[in-house]
Chain A
Amino acid sequence: MQPLRRITSRTVIIPSTDIDTDQIIPARFLTTTTKEGLGQQLFADWRYREDGAPNPEFVLNRPEARGAQILVAGRNFGCGSSREHAPWALLDYGFLAVISAGVADIFRGNALKNGLLPVVVDEPTSQWLLQHPGAELEIDLEATRLTLPTGASISFAIEPFARHCLLNGLDEFGYLRSKLVDIERFEAARA
């Protein structure tokens, strides 16, 4: 994985609360056996019309969304199904971070393991962001701070081990495998 230290980007806003992973990537696209190309189907049922043409009203189809790497969404983002296809689709599309007043547990874990940064902010910050689409933000993972265009700087919490892995481009798997001796010892003690 590429180290992730700082993200500077405009935001794209999807204000809905409780956006479930079925919206992020509908189940009919889960028949894939790879991770690639899922960005095409990101938010498919909101993004495309019945005939497959882009829905011009959906934010990702508007010119101002192009190139944005930060998605701001309503609280409880990523609830529902455990499908890792959700962070895969967001990353494949080009997002590097999701900011919300709340992120669902399984989604958060899946996102962090793939280099997509979930940033949980307090309700006032969330409301400010939702009301200022296209705001230029800086997310500094090293300092765990989010800087708004107003100059306001907000600290956010992130699990220390996940942060360490993201900053250094490390895969958590390497650490887990380094514990295989302990796992074997645990099994032997239980047998």
Chain B
Amino acid sequence: MTPRTLFEKVWSAHEVVAETRDTPAVLYVDLHLVHEVTTPQAFSMLRRNGLTVRRPDRTLATMDHSTPTHSAQVFGSVPIKVDAAAKQVRQMEENAAEFGLELFGMRDARRGIVHIIGPELGLTQPGMTIVCGDSHTSTHGAFGALAFGIGTTEVGHVFATQALLQRKPKGLAINIEGRLQPGVTAKDLILAIIGQIGVSGGTGCVLEYRGSTVRALSMHERMTVCNMSIEAGARAGMIAPDEVTYEYLRGKARAPRAQDWEAAEARWRSFVTDPEARFDGSVQVNAARIEPMITYGTNPGMVVPIGAAIPDKKGDEAFDKALRYMGFHGGEAMLGKAVNVVFIGSCTNGRLEDLQAAAGILKGRKVAHGVQLLIVPGSQQIKRQAEALGLADIFKAAGADWRESGCSMCLGMNGDTVAAGQYSVSTSNRNFEGRQGKGARTLLVSPLTAAASAVKGSIADPRELL
């Protein structure tokens, strides 16, 4: 048999109808994750056509993007501040009830960011196809699943058929070797990779992260890496499953149990790239040389090591426009720049280990005067765990604002926004203009760098506080 890549194996295992020159493939979807923002129009389409959700058993709905993070609005009697968001939340409840979908609603203990709860429940498994109306669906690729974001029309297609029309993307190997230095995290690794290949370097491709560095990463680190594949323009990012993956999944609420587990694990073990398999391209990354990274511009590819200066590209209009928006100049050092807001959370860095990393720096220290530190756990389960482990107490003692779970300030749909002109050091995934609020200036970093910068009140190298 021809040697195949991990991606090719997952793809062909889900090909209902193979692609031809004239027609795309019909690709089967194992798991469809649903949230309140990108689905109302898809439910309307079903209603208009008198259709049902064909496989509710392969569909899970939650609320994350527009939900409030203030406990009083989630659990108390205080109404949701943003009216339109309240309407969207209500519609999600009505749609889930009408179409018979399992929904982790506003007050459900299992609610959380859609890309956090899939893995947390053990729903995300190797060799699966997973889609969601959200580009960070690439997160689930950390388990060796083929997972990608889709638009609302396609959400409707999956509702009605459990399949999608797709052209087969190319395969790009990201070979990573070398040991990450202390204070350098998976977030720094993926930011460095995006800096290396560019924000459109992965267009048309599924990335497979490979090599000894990747094998040494924990599941939460692998999720951080795969999460930002879309920021390199890639269709998806994947990591082959191994003992780390199986160990993570064992005992999870919706992972296979007892004798089902052995059969599942045996099947999962086949989802690795064969030794002689060929990729359409490859990139080499030296992890040992990576430092804590920080973005300085308005896309995730505009990134430098934290101790470096902003590049000077005189005459490059797009570059100059980005720096003008940020209020920066070429040649300036990043370290020491003033910070107004620090956000720790999101589907990129809202997991328990991210909070533990931040707590390691915040313990016994105070958030600098005048800086707002907002910490939003990725799920309600993570919130409870963080509280049980005493992390929440560390955060509160440091002067941080500790909230209910959700996407929150990553995209500011729920009213958690950064004011115009303010600098936000953020563990999220996008530093686009206005992403965290109109006129907001976002600097993407790891949870360590975020915590260190909150303490110093300016952009800080976390290695000084470890």
Contact = CB atoms under 8 A, between A and B. Distances in A.
Interface of A: 15-18, 20, 22-23, 26-28, 30-35, 45, 50, 74-76, 79-84, 102, 104-106, 109-110, 113-114, 159-161, 164, 172-173, 175-177, 179-180, 182-183, 186-187
Given A80-B430, A82-B135, A179-B163, A17 B318 contact: yes
Closest 4 CB pairs of A and B: A31-B84, A33-B40, A110-B151, A84-B151
B28 A84 contact: no
Interface in B1-53: 16-17, 21-24, 26, 28, 37-38, 40-41, 44
Contacts of A83: 37-38, 151
Contacts of B149: 82, 106
Contacts of A172: 157, 165
Interface in B372-413: 411-413
B368 interface: no
A16 B299 CA distance: 12
B321 interface: yes
6 contacts: A18-B318, A31-B87, A33-B88, A76-B200, A79-B199, A173-B157
A100 B149 CA distance: 22
Contacts of B321: 16
B133 interface: yes
B233 A113 contact: no
Interface in B155-199: 156-157, 160-165, 167, 169, 199
Contacts of A34: 40-41, 44
B154 interface: yes
Given A82-B151, A105-B203, A20 B165 contact: no
Contacts of A177: 160-161
B246 interface: no
B15 to A, nearest CB: 9
A27 B413 contact: yes
A144 B299 CA distance: 32
Contacts of A104: 200, 203, 233
B154 A109 contact: yes
A159 B233 contact: no
B21 A160 contact: yes
Given A22-B430, A45-B433, A173-B157, A106 B16 contact: no
B84 A22 contact: no
Contacts of A45: 433-434, 438-439
B200 A18 contact: yes
A79 to B, nearest CB: 6
A105 B38 contact: no
Contacts of B24: 159, 161
B235 interface: yes
Given A172-B165, A173-B156, A35 B37 contact: no
B435 interface: yes
B432 interface: yes
Interface string B109-132: 000000000000000000000000
Residue of B134, B301, B318 contacting most chain A CB atoms (<10 Å): B318
Contact of B432 (A20, A31, A35, A106): A20
B299 A183 contact: no
Interface in B73-96: 82, 84-85, 87-88, 91
